[in-house]
Amino acid sequence: MAKNQQNQPVSNEDPFFGLKYIGYCRSQMPPEDSDIADFVEYCRHFVSAEKNILFNDPVWDRYTEEEIIIEFFALRFDKEKEFREEYESQLMGGPSEEDYAWFDRMEAELQEKNKELMDETEEFSDDFTQK
3-state secondary structure 40-109: HHHHHHHHHHHHCCCCCCHHHHHCCHHHHHHHHHHHHHHHCHHHHHHHHHHHCCCCCHHHHHHHHHHHHH
> pLDDT tens track of the chain, all 131 residues?
555 555 555 556 889 998 888 888 888 888 888 888 889 999 999 999 999 999 999 999 999 999 999 999 999 999 999 999 888 887 877 677 787 888 889 889 888 888 877 776 665 556 666 65
Q: Quick check: helix, strand or coil at residue 32?
A: coil
The reply to whether 21 falls in a domain is yes
The reply to whether 130 falls in a domain is no
What's the pLDDT at 115? 81
Question: What is the domain range of residue 83?
Answer: 3-118
The reply to whether 39 falls in a domain is yes
Nearest to 5 by CA among 39, 27, 38: 38
Total structural domains within the chain: 1
What's the pLDDT at 57? 94
The reply to whether 127 falls in a domain is no
DSSP 8-class letter at 30: P
- State the first-to-last Cα distance of the chain, in angstroms, to the nearest integer: 90
State the pTM of this model: 0.57
Exposure pattern of 65-86 as b/e (b: 16+ CB <10 Å)?
Answer: eeebbebbeebeeeeeeeeeee
